[in-house]
Amino acid sequence: MSLINDDLQQLLINYCEPESELLKRIDRETNLKVLMPRMLSGHYQGRVLSLLSKMVSPRRILEIGTFTGYATLCLAEGLSKNGLIYTLDINAELEDMVRSNFAQSAYNEKINYILGDATKTINNLNEVFDIVFIDADKKNNGTYYDLIFDRVRPGGIIIVDNVLWSGKVLQDQQDKDTKNITNFNDKIAADQRVEKLILPVRDGLFVIRKLG
> Per residue in 14-73, pLDDT tens?
999 999 999 999 999 999 999 999 999 999 999 999 999 999 999 999 999 999 999 999
Q: Give me the count of residues in the chain.
A: 212
Judged against a pLDDT cut of 90, whether residue 107 lies above it is answered with: yes
Beta pairing, strands 129-134 & 152-161: parallel
3-state secondary structure of 80: coil
DSSP E strands, 126-191: 129-134, 152-161
> Per residue in 125-175, pLDDT tens?
999 999 999 999 999 999 999 999 999 999 999 999 999 999 999 999 999
Q: Where are the domains of the chain?
A: 6-210
- pLDDT band at 2, cuts 50/70/90? low
Is the Cβ–Cβ distance between 189 and 196 less than 8 Å?
yes
Under CATH, to which class is 6-210 assigned?
Answer: alpha beta
Please give the Cα distance from 132 to 167 (Å, whole number): 24
Judged against a pLDDT cut of 90, whether residue 212 lies above it is answered with: no
